[in-house]
Amino acid sequence: MAAPSMKERQVCWGARDDYWRCLEESAEDASRCQQLRKSFESSCPQQWIKYFDKRRDYLKFKEKFEAGQFQPSKSPANS
**DSSP symbol at 31:** G
pLDDT at 2: 79
The residue type at 58: Y
- Collapsed DSSP state (helix, strand, coil) of residue 69: coil
Nearest to 21 by CA among 40, 2, 48, 5: 40
Confidence bin at 30 (pLDDT 50/70/90): confident
Count Cβ atoms below 10 Å from residue 76 Cβ, excluding itself: 6
pLDDT digits over 12-29, tens only?
999 999 999 999 998 878
pLDDT digits over 47-59, tens only?
999 999 999 999 9
Cα 73 from chain centroid (whole Å): 23
- Collapsed DSSP state (helix, strand, coil) of residue 74: coil
